[in-house]
Structures are given as C-alpha cells and as structure tokens.
Amino acid sequence: MGILGNLFGKGQATLPPVDLGILKCDVHSHFIPGIDDGAPSVVDSLELLRAMRELGYQKVVTTPHSMADGYRNAPEVILGGLEKLRRAVKEEGLDIEVEAAAEYYLDHDLMEKSSAQKLLTFATDMVLFELPFISEPSVLLSAVFEMQTQGYRPVLAHPERYTFWHTDMGMMEKLKDRGVIFQLNAIALMGAYGPATKKAAEKIIDKGWYGLVGSDCHSMKHIAALEAARTEPYLHKLIEGGKLLNATL
C-alpha cells in the first residue's frame, strides 16, 4: 500500500515536509500592499514573497479582496498595486514572478462586473470567488451560470471553510458537476480554521474534488502555518494525486 496507504485512517501520523516547489504557482494570496487585510506595506509584501520563494514557489497569483461592501478594489487599483509591487520585487532582486487577479465576494458587484466582462482573471479565464460564511447564497448556481456564460471558469475559494456544507456536500457536488474548480487553503490541513474545517478539507481530498491549492497568505503567521501543513499526510495525498492545476498556470 505504501507509506500513505498505511497512514490514512490511523490517527495523526505525519510525514516529512512535502516539497511545495512541485506546485510552482500559488493562486490565492494578499500580497499587494495596503489595499485589503493582507500586507500593510511594501516591506511586508517583500518579506512574504521571500518566504514564499524559500518554500519553493516560483510564481504567485495574488488576489486582493473585491466586494461591494468592504474592499471595493477596482481593477485599476489592483493592477496599479501590482506594478508597484513588481518594481519592488525587481529592485530587491527577488526571483519570483508576481501576477494579480482578485478574490471576488459573491454579491451584486461581482455579477455586474461579470456581465460587463470586467473581472480580473488568472490563467486567462479563471475567476476566484468566495461565499459568505453565514449561509449558502440562494443565487449561487445562477451566479456560476452567469460567469460561465461570459466565458469565465469559476474557481471557488476554500470550500472547506463553509460550515453550512460540513454535514451535507450535495451542493458542492452540484458545483463540481457544473465545472466549478475548487481551491483548498493548504493551512486548513494543519487545523488553522479548526478541526471541523480540517475534516471537511480531508473529505474533499478523498473525493478528489480539489483542482487548485493556495496559501491564502495574509501575514507571516500564515507562512508559519503553511510550513506546518507540509507534514500533513493529506497535503501529500493531494499533491501526489496528480489532479492539481497549479503547475500548469
């Protein structure tokens, strides 16, 4: 059965740290300084990017929050911040590629931008979006259909964190059947969001539903959590399963 086959279902055994360099690209982070709850300054951004490079990443797609009630972050704000960050990375001599998209909150602003085809994407047509944590939006399936009609590939951020799906993953299965890509926050596997979210992430991995894995890095605390997650058997299982798209981006 191999090491992994012997470990699953037998408690909290850990493995040597997995090589995150296999992923090549991180697809969810908050590195653009001063525009959301991520890095507050360029100095902090560079510290985080140095840490990501040391973990083996060659590229990051940083995704500032974009929402109607909160961090509004129009595309020109995000892209302007990206250019500022890229200049700092170049001046620092840091060997990491930085691109930007957005983490869109599912609200009327997202739908308006989708209809106008003004969403920031990565990998040409992928759109990262998140849901409210309180309850499942009634418009979820129609929103997915709207994005796909406009030529976007929806990527659902951290489905393991939505507690309303922890006991019934039926809607998640519907989303998968409709072509939605699921993105795991890797730090969920070391318990960063609690045991229930960790269990949900492991269940989704068992189902083979994740297509992307990201750090959702906001600060050095998340870097430490990402480092800790490297020994988790389920992160090994996910990366070695061959279904992740990260390295193709």
11-20 tens-digit pLDDT: 555 699 999 9
| Mean pLDDT value of segment 191-207 | 98
Is the confidence at residue 101, as pLDDT, over 60? yes
Q: Which pLDDT score, from 0 to 100, does residue 5 have? A: 45
Q: At what angle do helices 220-229 and 42-54 cross, to 10 degrees?
A: 10
Exposure string of 128-154, with b = 16+ CB inside 10 Å and e = fewer, is bbbbeeeeeeeebeebbebbbebebbb
Taking the complete model, does pTM exceed 0.85, yes or no? yes
* Per-residue pLDDT reduced to its tens digit, 184-198: 999 999 999 999 999
Judge whether 105 and 129 are in contact, CB under 8 Å. Answer: yes
**CATH superfamily ID and name for 16-248:** Metal-dependent hydrolases (3.20.20.140)
Is the confidence at residue 94, as pLDDT, over 90? yes
Q: How many CB atoms lie within 10 A of CB 16?
A: 9
